[in-house]
Structure 1
């Protein structure tokens, strides 16, 4: 019941809310979603896949939310704005859950290790997984992990308008989802806590569906990803 009420409050914020406001609300809501019966034995280690995924995906999601807030103000197209609202709603909620879990676990929200280092911890059964080459990704121009837009691309979106903004957003978000799916696939296999594995698998399924939708939307605009 509390989760449903919190979700409704968040949805109302999306219409006119700012990025900072939405992320602050979901960070508080997340703590309510961790099972109260979780024992200390279930708390992941600082360098575990669970904690590493939570930290990295929180950063990854924050940019997707920011991209969506930008395009919301750069186009009047209802289909694109609806997609942006969905991304803000879903990924801000998920980001809040990830950061809230780190609070519950008593673990830091940042790490001195490079992004995605947790994916190197246990390679058993991971060979051949899409995107594993991304572990060697070299951060550049604000793009910290595979799929993340660069600062230059973010600035381009801020300056674009109408259909040009729509196409750029759809392309950037498609690439963003590809990188996010690769990390989520790894976490769905490597995480030790059921809640993290379930959330990661849900991200894979949800973002795969959105990628198909975005491919159709790009085709409608005479563009490709």
Structure 2
């Protein structure tokens, strides 16, 4: 089996490519469906609106972390993964913000983060952070890291970030009724599950713990 420059089997790149392709195709379909649909739209207190608002913020941090890694990581595998995450999640932010505009809703709500989830705010972490989100100190530590520590810290932070995002998607799927939102959420989960596998394999190749 061929390997990349870090010695990581290329199997993870195939898993990631399939997941990203599926997610992008779903995203296009959701965007078109949004423009063509005349069905009733979610209200401001709906799970769909809460998800669009909170996941946009959650995604924004993933883009931030990924751009740090893309510019400073030592491994081409990590840089490629970081680029894919940044591009995909920025595109999804655009889709979710367009939903809110089409629904005539504010991009931010007046309810606490995660209040739309089935378990409410029970999964909110210290500092009012959504599940898996890094602290400011962790982001600063990533920025100041050098060498392979950039790769390791990014993979560890993004692994936790994705697991938190998947938890949010599961909460949305338990409550949502809008087929467009459900379709995109399922695409997110598929892509991030593939990326979780890739991150775990990268950490293993660097002999680094997953947390």
TM-score of the superposition, structure 2-length normalised?
Answer: 0.81
Root mean square deviation of aligned Cα: 2.0
Partner of 2:155: 170
Native 8 Å contact 1:64 1:173 kept in 2: yes
Shift of 1:134: 6.3
Q: Secondary structure at the match of 1:42?
A: coil
Native 8 Å contact 2:44 2:105 kept in 1: yes
- Per-residue CA distance 1:136-182 (angstroms, 9 max, x = gap): 42441xx6201000000000000012210100000000000010000
Which has the bigger relative contact order, CA under 8 A and spacing at least 6? 2
Q: 1:170 to 1:188 in 2, by over 3 A?
A: same
Partner of 1:42: 40
Cα distance in 1 for residues equivalent to 2:186 and 2:31 = 21
Q: 1:214 aligns with which of 199, 205, 209?
A: 199
* Structure 1: runs of 5 or more not aligned: 1-28, 121-131
Partner of 1:200: 185
* Structure 2: runs of 5 or more not aligned: 1-27
Partner of 2:24: none
Partner of 2:18: none
Q: 1:134 to 1:208 in 2, by over 3 A?
A: farther
Give structure 1 regions of 4+ aligned residues with deviation exceeding 4 angstroms. Answer: 29-32
Aligned residues, how many? 183
Shift of 1:34: 4.5
Native 8 Å contact 2:123 2:131 kept in 1: no
Shift of 1:63: 0.1
